[in-house]
A = this chain, B = another copy of it.
Amino acid sequence: MTTLKELAALLNISVSTVSKALNDSHEISEKTRIRVKELATKLNYKPNRIAQQLKNNTSKTIGVILPTVTNPFFAEVLHGIEMAATNNNYDIIVCLSNETLHKEKRSLSLLSNGSVDGFIIAVARESQVKNQTDHIEAIIKSKIPVLMFDRVVNGIECNKVIVDDFQSVYEATKHLIVNEKRKNILLVSNIEELSVGQLRISGYSKALEDYKLTPNILKLDNAVDIEVEKKIYAYLKDNTSIDAILSIDHITGIVAINMAKRLGKEIPKDLSVVGFGYDHTQLLSSPKISIIHQKAHKIGEMSTKLLIDSVKDQTLKTQTIVVPSELKLSESTK
């Protein structure tokens, strides 16, 4: 890598002159400025980022800590973060907690040494279940800005970007009741222990309460693969009065459609299905599932902007932004 020193030596001038020339200082003569720039271009000189970071005491880098990236929600959020960061000339260092507390702790700790100017984080499942979040508060106390999105800890004061989990599910349930005239709506959940899961269940419960219907909740308890199918199939077989399904994740709705079809049910005549979903969710189901579409990309973008703002001006008041979801009905139920 070419350095200022090397350029200076080749040109027989001082390092500081080279530096100033490259930064278009008014002090430098047209002639030498051109001479310097030509050589710099020729040798493909680039200011060493590390040195600049040391000098400026800023890394222009954001630490992004995600529970996982194979969940399409987080993948899409990451996409949004990356775009917004790039647009603001920030890099992102990505760490995956794998839903574990210890990895989350470790990542926060390792990066809070000047590597990043701030953090964007969605809390790991384990941290949230055990309600252990001291490590995050410690970071905030050390004056490194933290932004939490989606999985949020209420007790912590920092910027937050959240989804309208309660409201969107309330509206979707209401839609099933009022517009589609459904009476026995089953909620299928595989994330009941997460804050977002609880909010979604609350939205459903409130809607049923408001319309004086009885709630039916099928908790899958973190089931994997074939177990998911079996449990849903068994439930639908034993409870034939179910006329609508509301899945609060992005998998079980599609599985429910497949199981209902296997049981000979016609969709959406016998059964309406609403789930959470992303870009390809509707493409993968047939008949089309209706989805609550979270604006994951936007969540990433807004999180990044908000964090960068608070990095640049630490005196800003913290705020919580709610990104509304969109209910995308399948063609057949419109």
Contact = CB atoms under 8 A, between A and B. Distances in A.
A77 to B, nearest CB: 10
A202 interface: no
Nearest to A94: B94
Interface residues of A, number: 58
Copies in the complex: 2
Contact of A92 (B47, B94, B112): B94
A229 B91 contact: no
Interface in A218-243: 225-226, 228-229
A142 interface: yes
Interface in A106-162: 107, 110-115, 142
Nearest to A296: B70
12 contacts: A1-B114, A48-B114, A70-B278, A82-B94, A83-B96, A91-B95, A92-B93, A92-B94, A254-B284, A255-B283, A255-B284, A258-B286
Interface of A: 1, 44, 46-51, 53-54, 59, 61, 68-70, 72, 75-76, 78-79, 82-83, 86, 91-96, 98, 103, 107, 110-115, 142, 225-226, 228-229, 251, 254-255, 258-259, 261-262, 278-280, 282-286
